[in-house]
Amino acid sequence: MVNILDLSYEELEEFLVELGEKKFRTKQVWQWLWNKYVQSFDEMTNISKAVRARLHEEAYIRWPEVVTSQKSKDGTIKFLLKLHDDALVETVLIPGSKGRYSQCLSCQVGCAMACTFCSTGTMGFKRNMTQSEILGQVLVARHYLNDVAERPILRNIVFMGMGEPLLNLENLLKSLNTMHSTLGLAFSPRRVTVSTCGIQKGLYELGESGLAFLAVSLHAPNQDVRAKIMPKAARWKLDDFMTALKNYPLKTRERITYEYLLLGGVNDSVEDARELVKLISQTKSKLNLIVYNPSEGDPYKAPSEEAVLKFQKVLWDKGVTAIIRQSKGADIKAACGQLVADQSKNEAES
């Protein structure tokens, strides 16, 4: 049997035809799954009981199970989710203006990149997530918010949760295509961002697809610092990475977003800022500065406010658009780099 949420529209059509159904059934079932968010075939009321019985025999609908949910004092909401094999992942709803939200999605159970400042890296890599598990996070969020695709509260998606998206490229691209379906979740590609720490395989394919904006987890102004804090990502030399980014396919008025995590005494000096200007000025870009949120036992400290402001001033003085991104959810370990799926920790923090 198959989790029907793992099928693309074309795969669903083929599946239904093999069951002896007409192709028009595909649109009906698809809308029930991705637009009306049903969790049982019995809820598909415009489909005959006989067809629903066949679907019960050959497929099932499984969402990730919500183990815990936590709400930060700033309104951020973090879900700990259990997958079909009891693997645990986290996803975060980030409040914005006018009652709207963005969602930070995970794409892997754990992460193989082991960046030294990221809690997820301490989990190691367990496995890739499927489409049903990636987009199941969106279904859980919309159900929680009592949201509808036609008038969405959940407006933006960022693949900045657990895992490296380009190391799960097949399921990422499949999920992005499903996410953009106007018959379903109906997210515009302009409201979806995929973040990578620098994976050569898949970067160009993502750009050619036009399915999402690109964000780059840079975090270092030169190869030496990058190798110390992101040793696995740094295997792709920074100069070569930047050359690839210069050739990355961009739409009109589109820019690459660089994410730069300021680590106290490591990459937050005025000289680091000057090096960073030279580096990212090679591409059409904007820069998000993120102030590090230390967790217990971390090897790094947060930068001083003075260092952050001096760093930003150097960038602005050189014409680089640099915004200090306000991290949210730090009190529930939901801020940048803090996701680590541990049920005992989540229960302790609740």
- Residues annotated within the binding site for [4Fe-4S] cluster are 111, 115, 118
- Residues annotated within the binding site for S-adenosyl-L-methionine are 163-164, 195, 217-219, 293
Residues belonging to the active site: 90, 336
What is the distance between the alpha carbons of residues 210 and 162, in angstroms, rounded to a whole number?
23
- Residues annotated within the binding site are 111, 115, 118, 163-164, 195, 217-219, 293
